[in-house]
């Protein structure tokens, strides 16, 4: 059994004579990153469009695949970290996008992860890696 409020999910277990809670708190909102092909030429003109989605953490807590979780109707701002630098992404209707380009030396990889929502707790996203290709 799961309980939720506007920010967190709590997992509770029931027994025959009482109900008790397991110390399991998870943010109600989870962040999911999706990118195009995962490759980027380092000439600062090629871009990789990164899509950030705010998805239902309750579905995931109940066993749903995070890639299949429902996108929530959320408007706000999220922080995405790409290669150690923070980028602000506007979220409308649960989805936001960011176009990323770089001149960083290649061959190399750049890690990206959505780390926070501005106004409510959220579980960080999946870690994604972009492969940089020499121009």
Residue 22 has pLDDT above 60, yes or no: no
- Of 89, 83, 82, give the one whose Cα is nearest residue 117: 89
Residue 25 has pLDDT above 60, yes or no: no
Q: Show the tokens assigned to 114.
A: 């959505």
Q: Show the tokens assigned to 78.
A: 């999220």
- Of 46, 34, 36, give the one whose Cα is nearest residue 114: 34
Residue 125 is predicted with a pLDDT of: 86
Q: For the segment 50-104, what is each residue's pLDDT rounded down to a tens digit? A: 999 999 888 887 889 989 999 999 999 999 999 999 999 999 999 999 999 999 9
The model carries a pTM of: 0.79
Q: Show the tokens assigned to 125.
A: 């996203």
pLDDT bracket for residue 32 (50, 70, 90): very high
Residue 50 is predicted with a pLDDT of: 93
Residue 4 has pLDDT above 90, yes or no: no
Residue 91 is predicted with a pLDDT of: 96
21 or 125: whose pLDDT is higher? 125
28-133: CATH homologous superfamily? Immunoglobulins (2.60.40.10)
Residue 52 is predicted with a pLDDT of: 95
Angle at 114 between CA 110 and CA 118, to 5 degrees: 140
- For the chain, domain boundaries: 28-133
């Amino acid at each position: 059994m799961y309980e939720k409020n506007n920010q967190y999910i709590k997992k509770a277990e029931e027994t025959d004579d009482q109900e008790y809670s397991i110390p399991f708190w998870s943010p109600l909102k989870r962040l999911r990153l999706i990118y195009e092909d995962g490759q980027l030429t380092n000439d600062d003109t090629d871009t990789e469009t990164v899509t950030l989605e705010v998805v239902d953490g309750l579905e995931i807590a109940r066993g749903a695949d995070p890639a299949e979780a429902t996108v929530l109707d959320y408007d706000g701002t999220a922080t995405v970290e790409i290669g150690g630098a923070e980028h602000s992404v506007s979220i409308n209707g649960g989805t936001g996008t960011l176009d990323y380009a770089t001149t960083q030396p290649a061959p190399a990889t750049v890690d990206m992860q959505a780390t926070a929502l501005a106004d409510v707790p959220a579980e960080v996203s999946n870690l994604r890696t972009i492969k940089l290709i020499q121009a």
